[in-house]
Structure 1
């Protein structure tokens, strides 16, 4: 089924084969067993998807927006058995963004580690005091945390404290401060 304009459905939408809607689709419920490809999708109710949902939103708005008035149910929930439940990707922007007006910005819970920062592999240089630190980026935004790994696979964590800026005709690179950690310890019962 191909629709070249907006499609408003009063009842439910049941899709067995592929549906391509150039405009937007508004419905009260949706059951999809095939590929549903729409410009904008509004579902007032429950949607059951057995295959793929591809939504391309307008340039200045969200492609998919989930809302919840409940204190106990999320606006959007992704569940993955072996793969990630939710994945965000951007070539030049943020891969993910979480905001809260009055609450905590993000909460992470896990039976393993709560957070893993994949280290950047960059060249390291010797310092005057006999230590080593990474060649730090000239760009950065205050609050950015970066983890760098040297050729010995030892990691260091750094916090950006000032961004790239200008002082008259001169360009001043971002400044970074190393996050000092305690001594490393073996895992297990050592």
Structure 2
């Protein structure tokens, strides 16, 4: 109670002198059961990523407040949240997005976020395709959906029917 920051090893040594025979793990669990920090569950990385990448209009008040708290937790998180928001704005095709993407990559390189550096490198590696994706309104979603459906039909019919029946199923669907 006098020194709440005392290391567990020192505390364990003191109470062992007084006859404590339990383990250090049991002592840590006993100490943590009364702490305020232990009263709430920690956020998983998946939950944090979901909060940071979800559109702000799709968050309820509780999640919006948690997202703002996460974004302001440290300077790196603030920069990360800003970069995610700026990149999400690039995903709506527009004529000036190629220049904005160049500026986004430069800002990302200037930030101290190594995991975003590798993402920016991947974007630069296939720059022509990325520029087309962020500037042109065309996409191949319908073709990809058809391919996915055909693969599903093939998996369902594996070993049960020949090519003519599979062809007929594809044409009927």
Higher Rg: 2
Select the structure that is richer in helix. Answer: 2
Higher normalized contact order (CA 8 Å, seq sep 6+, divided by chain length): 2
TM-score after normalising by structure 2? 0.22
Structure in which a larger fraction of residues adopt strand? 1
